[in-house]
Amino acid sequence: MKQAVLRAAQPLEAAAMAQIQEQFKDFLGEDVSFDVVVEPSLIGGYVALIDGKLYDMSVAAQLAEIRKSYGKELVREMTGSAPKMAEPGAFGSTLREHMKGFAFQPKVEDYGTVNSIMDDVVQISGLAGSHYGELLAFEGEHYGLALDLREDGVGAVMLSGADEITTGSFVHGTGHVADICVGDTLLGRIINPIGQPMDGRELKVNGFRPVECPAPSIMDRSPVNRPLETGLLAIDSMIPIGRGQRELIIGDRQTGKTSIALAAMINQRDENTYCVYCAIGQKGSTVAQVADTLRKSGALERTVIVAATADDRASLQYLAPYAGCAIAEDFMHRGRDVLIVYDDLSRHAQAYRSMSLLLRRPSGREAYPGDVFYLHSRLLERAAKLCDEKGGGSITALPIVETMAGDISAYIPTNVISITDGQIYLESELFNAGVRPALNVGLSVSRVGRSAQHKAMKAVSGSLRLDLAQYRDTAIFAQFGADIDENTRQLLARGECLTQLLKQRQDDVLTLSQQVAVLVAFEENLFGGIPIKQVADARSGLLAFLTENCAGTMHAIDISGELRAIDREMLVAYAKKYIDSRHLRRSADQ
């Protein structure tokens, strides 16, 4: 005789119990003995739990099925123009008409039992048919994510209601993975990884998309050959980023990694590009500051912020980048260009490590689980430039990774470096010296290269990286006070000038024509002789002068992306006119 549990809406009489036992004997072919548990929330009927199977014959399940089958149609019917003229009782007759064809089929599904719960990680016996990443439904309408599959049970992490789950609670699979709301209604909003608004406003949902999706195939992709301009002269000229590229931003804490990402997002406010910012393990105040910065710059209305703060459970921090990527994919598959920032994947890996240790998985290097590489590769591979047949949209990913004492050979940094198409390495010494962005040109690289750069920028930035690298190497030896020849002196002066020209605030983004104009003036040595402390002001003044007096040429460069010979002559002529009229040239000794 099988021993099972029967959850009923009210105490059952002996005759009713005998009838239920007889029904299951005919169905299963053997006698069943039930332990009855009264649950008024079932409204009526019962739920039988037998050998890992759940047989739901409750009234609550029937009502849920009715709402699912007819709810939207009835609501649409009763809120249209007809109800204004409908007679009393029309809704009841409509409902009865729909109910004539309704036949309830009892739900039969696998179920499990909670054995233990610790720090949001639940060990479950049963559910042998669960899939990795499947959404599990707990009692009280709480949900978890199956991340550890065993022969005798499942290990899951709670997404909500961890404090209300107790040992012995029943769990059943939903048959689908976690999903996130998507659509244009998310623009300008702050949500958490399960789609709940965090900005205090109501959220209207247009649709949903699974947080885990396969990356686009090779045949669905097209070459990365269109630039995504960050507005930062140092990046766009030396480390160009293409639409569909994955460019890592890496460096120690407080070296301006987020500032570069924000500058790139701000620069998209006038482009046909949407942005998604994923805050993983950040302080709530930091997320608020990011939102405020984007709002003041006018970029928030084209941005979706997905935030799992440091106070949130590890499961939400784990889910955040996948949720953000799903939102970006919805835009991409509708033919849009998207820039997504993961800030940062170091905390993401740490959250996954804490969950894996609680799930009792074997640990490897630095206590990370063996699949930590797959954790980030399956995320970043979803960034792509789709072919025209697939809509031509793109996702450009800017993952951020934090290093310790500049060690880029640590486990997580090397993993992400091997996945991405290049890295922007920020150095603490340069940052502390006032060089912003603190770009180390020797360790920074873009594997897409100049194929994702405008012709105008190619024409004026060819030797820029080499000039800067030579200057920084030479400056190290010059610090020792050794005698230097005239050529070296000129190299140092030119390098100091270039360093000042490349300094830029995050909200001071430059258009293509402005960047080209600065580099043309530098190539012509028009900033030579200007005191170093005045170079930044001279650059700002020159750009304002060109915008006012050479607007046609500047506009032509922005529209065409090319630098014609006549355009270059015009830029040089007006730049000389500005510098000479302001008497900016001085002796270097003054």
DSSP for 51-105?
Answer: TTEEEE--HHHHHHHHHHHHHHHHHHHHSSSGGGTPPTTHHHHHHHHHHTT----
Instruction: Tell me which of 447, 489, 505, 586 is the catalytic residue.
Output: 447
Alpha-carbon distances of 218 from 106, 221, 540, rounded to whole Å: 44, 5, 44
Annotated catalytic residue 347: no
Residue type, 154: V
End-to-end CA distance of the chain: 102
What residue has token string 């922007």? 424
Contact 54, 110 (CB under 8 A): yes
Contact 278, 244 (CB under 8 A): no
Orientation angle between helical segments 90-99 and 59-78, nearest 10 degrees: 130
Residues 6+ apart with CB under 8 A from 570: 550, 553
Burial of residue 74 (number of CB atoms within 10 Å: 0-12, 13-18, 19+):
middle
Q: Where does 333-454 show beta strands of DSSP type E?
A: 337-343, 394-402, 422-426, 445-446
Q: Which residues of 99-127 are buried (b: 16+ CB within 10 A; e: fewer)?
A: eeeeeeeebebbbbbbeebeebbbbbbbb
> At 258, phi and psi to the nearest 5?
-65, -35
Q: Which of 308, 409, 400, 304 is nearest to 352 (CA)?
A: 308
Assigned token pair, 28: 């299963």
Residues 6+ apart with CB under 8 A from 4: 32, 33, 34, 35, 48, 49, 50, 51
Alpha-carbon distance 496 to 486, whole Å?
Answer: 15
What residue has token string 């610090």? 479
> At 531, phi and psi to the nearest 5?
-55, 140
Residues taking part in catalysis: 447
